[in-house]
């Protein structure tokens, strides 16, 4: 009997649990009507959306009126950056870290051509505080976009310190929390926040925007009945997103400790392998992510060979425009960009699964090295 497949590529997408699948089906059965209309069927749909928004808002620490659904994470990022930037009339610059996801970097470049300040990071992926302080205090800076945690290396930014700087400078802090919500406690200090339900195990197709009541934003797009979700919200996806997040939060502390231990085991096994370099902060990190760079090897054949062994992992950029595009995150940190493996665990991964991966990996590495020299 063949061994079951192992999915170690859960950074950004995770398997849907039975409970979340049940919620999706319930949303399809009871939430098919347009929530914006006045019929009984529509009121039922609207109640489901409101309940989902309430649950997500509670997890993020805001009122439900300050949580908005969008049709996707790209739309969420584009609209929140555009809205906050537009409201900051007279300030034409945007500040970002060099390891933000492509969506953030591309949107910033579009909104402020030739006026985007990229803040360097150290070898562990932490933003340079002195440079950030200087940029935040610049009178032309409209906003600062900084991730809560990196989607490739797992490094968690020191947002409390960063928020203190931006607050003192009067600059809105827009936080990309698409890699962290559902894995660690939500950040407390931010002015606008974006989250990704697919990353915490909900079906893809929904983005989340949260705003503090005092955060000013102005639409710079055609307005409709819902400026964040023109055409309406998918009721089944909203309900599934809320249930999936509740499921994660119910066991967050214990599962975080468990996954931290699994990643520590993997880090130890990889560190003992010749020519392997671990990337990112070993302590201030997400519990489920790990990236390792392999000298003299390409990531694509490693991924392909592991996939043949029944183990799914990632490589290249986690947010690039191509599957195996070199990672700008690793490049910004001064790490190897091509021969890397990116691992993302989900709650279904066991100790035996990790042991199997560590047992298989040396044989896969040797096979790839031999094929490259043949």
- Helix H, strand E, coil C: the string for the chain is CCCCCEECECCCCCCCCHHHHHHHHHHHHHCCCCCCCCCHHHHHHHHHHHHHHHHHHHHHCCCHHHEEEECCHHHHHHHHHHHHHHHCCCCCEEEEECCCCHHHHHHHHHHCCCCEEEECECCCCCECHHHHHHHHCCCCEEEEEEECECCCCCEECCHHHHHHHHHHHCCCEEEECCCCECCECCCCCCCEEEECHHHHCCCCCCEEEEECCCCCCCCCCCCCCCCCCCCCCCHHHHHHHHHHHHHHHHCHHHHHHHHHHHHHHHHHHHHCCCCEEEECCCCCECCCEEEEEECCCCHHHHHHHHHHCCEECECCCCCCCCCCCCCHHHHHHCCCCCCEEEEECCCCCCHHHHHHHHHHHHHHHHHHHHHHHC
How many C-beta atoms surround the C-beta of residue 163 within 10 A?
Answer: 19
In the predicted structure, residue 98 carries a pLDDT above the cut 60: yes
Q: Kind of pairing, strands 141-147 and 93-97?
A: parallel
Using one digit for the tens of pLDDT, what is the confidence trace for 259-281? Answer: 999 999 999 999 888 888 899 99
Q: Note the pLDDT of residue 333.
A: 85
Q: Torsions phi, psi of 106, nearest 5?
A: -65, -40
In the predicted structure, residue 321 carries a pLDDT above the cut 70: no
Using one digit for the tens of pLDDT, what is the confidence trace for 163-203? Answer: 999 999 999 999 999 999 999 999 999 999 999 999 999 99
Give the percent of the chain with pLDDT over 90.
76
Do the Cβ atoms of 52 and 242 come closer than 8 Å?
Answer: yes
Range name among 72-81, 92-101, 183-192, 306-315 with the lowest pLDDT average: 306-315
Q: Note the pLDDT of residue 219.
A: 87
Do the Cβ atoms of 354 and 344 come closer than 8 Å?
Answer: no
CA distance 368 to 374: 10
Q: Torsions phi, psi of 144, nearest 5?
A: -120, 125
For residues 4 and 147, the model is more confident at: 147
């Amino acid at each position: 009997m063949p061994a079951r497949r192992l999915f170690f590529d859960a950074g950004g997408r995770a398997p849907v649990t039975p409970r979340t699948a049940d919620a999706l089906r319930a949303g399809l059965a009871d939430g098919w009507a347009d929530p914006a209309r006045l019929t009984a069927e529509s009121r039922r749909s609207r109640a489901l959306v409101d309940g989902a928004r309430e649950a997500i808002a509670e997890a993020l620490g805001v009122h439900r009126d300050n949580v908005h659904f969008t049709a996707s994470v790209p739309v969420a990022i584009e609209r929140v950056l555009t809205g906050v930037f537009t409201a900051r009339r007279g300030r034409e610059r945007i500040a970002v870290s060099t390891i933000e996801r492509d969506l953030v970097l591309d949107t910033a470049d579009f909104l402020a051509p030739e006026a985007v300040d990229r803040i360097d990071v150290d070898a562990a992926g932490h933003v340079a505080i002195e440079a950030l302080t200087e940029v935040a205090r610049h009178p032309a800076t409209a906003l600062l976009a900084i991730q809560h945690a990196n989607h490739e290396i797992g490094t968690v930014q020191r947002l409390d310190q960063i928020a203190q700087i931006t607050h003192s400078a009067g600059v809105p802090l827009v936080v990309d929390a698409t890699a962290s919500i559902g894995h660690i406690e939500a950040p407390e200090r931010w002015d606008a926040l974006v989250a990704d339900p697919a990353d915490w195990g909900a079906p893809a197709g929904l983005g989340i925007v949260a705003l503090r009541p005092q955060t000013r934003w102005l639409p710079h797009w055609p307005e409709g009945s819902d400026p964040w979700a023109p055409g309406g919200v998918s009721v089944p996806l909203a309900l599934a997103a809320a249930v999936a997040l509740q499921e994660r939060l119910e066991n967050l502390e214990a599962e975080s400790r468990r996954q931290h231990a699994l990643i520590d085991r993997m880090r130890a096994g990889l560190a003992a392998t010749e020519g392997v370099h671990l990337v990112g902060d070993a302590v201030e990190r997400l519990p489920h992510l790990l990236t390792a760079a392999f000298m003299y090897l390409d990531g694509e054949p490693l991924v392909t060979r592991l996939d043949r062994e029944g183990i799914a992992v990632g490589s290249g950029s986690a947010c690039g425009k191509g599957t195996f595009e070199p990672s700008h995150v690793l490049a910004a940190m001064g790490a190897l960009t091509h021969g890397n493996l990116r691992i993302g665990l989900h709650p279904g991964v066991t100790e035996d699964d990790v042991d199997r991966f560590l047992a298989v990996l040396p044989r896969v590495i040797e096979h790839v090295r031999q094929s490259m020299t043949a």
